Homo-oligomer: A and B are copies of this chain.
Amino acid sequence: MILLDGRKTSSNLKFEIAEEVSQMKLSGQSVPHLAAVLVGEDGASLTYVGSKVRSCQQVGFESTLLHLPNTISEDELLKQIELLNANGSIDGYIVQLPLPKHIDENKILMAIDPLKDVDGFHPSNFGKMALEMDTFIPATPFGIMELLERYKVETKGKHVVVVGRSQIVGRPMSILLSRKGNPGNATVTLMHSHTKHLSNITQQADIIVMALGIPKFLKADMVKDGVVIIDVGITRVPSDQNPKGYEILGDVDFEHVAPKSSYITPVPGGVGPMTIAMLLKNTLIACKRRQN
């Protein structure tokens, strides 16, 4: 069993990006600039955005945090989006979700200039991904593809089961792994809340991507020997044994599934750390596209 180590891989990737940024500086180019829009004071969102900004500093990017009050109107937020689209010094930006309920998230996402949409959530970027055109791949699926590639996990002709059809993980994952290319060319089955006889199919899978959000859902008797496991779940559960008072659990019963696996991502330290690294990579790509 080999651990797919997201911490190490993400740190290697950040190192490579930082190297490239140094070279850009040396040759007199402007460095990538990522902006983040945060509305309100949601605790988890503050943490995520904070860590994105810190990662920018680690690799030498410029970063801008636009922290707006919870009371902002949809129109005012749209004006801010227009300013970001027009701002020539910003290569890419993200709008941290969720937004307050009085704001239509789709309307905001649709207003982002696709060329600056480093989250890859705009329909035109999502469509390009599905149509195998050059675009931004959403960060979490992109991070999984990067892990599979760096660990040389064979996907061609393999049966992949993706559990969960969310727009940010399950759906794009199912598309990416069945596209042409490497990683890719897999036979992909997409499962969700309406799926019947789920374990009949997971037992046949060569690779399982769990993106359901139910702790320890995937048990050892639901997989075959030698399976590759990608666990996207991160659920906080109260815990007496952890000094923080909670622990982070994945969708996989790691203790019992790991011994049967050929490769498996730990939680935490698997897919999670890759996500921010891929957001940086998308910003670097956006910057290079704009300079060409």
A interface residues, Cβ below 8 angstroms from B:
106, 122-133, 135, 156-157, 159, 165, 167, 171, 174-175, 178-179, 185-192, 194-197, 200-201, 204
Contacts and interface: CB of A to CB of B under 8 A. Distances in A.
A167 to B, nearest CB: 6
A130 B122 CA distance: 11
Contact of A167 (B131, B165, B171, B200): B131
Contact of A192 (B174, B187, B204): B187
A123 B123 CA distance: 7
Contacts of A125: 123, 127
Contacts of A187: 189-192, 194-196, 201
Contacts of A196: 157, 159, 187
A201 to B, nearest CB: 7
B165 A195 contact: no
Contacts of A165: 178-179
A133 B122 CA distance: 11
A201 B126 CA distance: 28
A167 B131 CA distance: 6
Given A123-B125, A125-B127, 6 more contacts: A123-B124, A123-B130, A130-B167, A159-B197, A174-B174, A189-B190
Contacts of A204: 200
A126 B128 CA distance: 8
30 contacts: A106-B133, A122-B127, A123-B124, A123-B125, A123-B127, A123-B130, A123-B133, A123-B135, A124-B124, A126-B126, A126-B130, A127-B127, A127-B128, A127-B130, A130-B130, A130-B167, A130-B175, A156-B194, A157-B196, A171-B175, A175-B175, A178-B192, A185-B192, A186-B194, A187-B189, A187-B191, A187-B195, A188-B189, A188-B190, A200-B204
A130 B201 contact: no
A224 B226 CA distance: 29
Nearest to A114: B124
Nearest to A200: B204
A137 B88 CA distance: 36
A191 B190 CA distance: 12
A157 B194 contact: yes
Nearest to A165: B178
Contacts of A157: 194-196
Contacts of A190: 174, 178, 187-189
A179 B192 CA distance: 10
A19 to B, nearest CB: 33
A196 to B, nearest CB: 5
Nearest to A161: B189
A35 B227 CA distance: 52
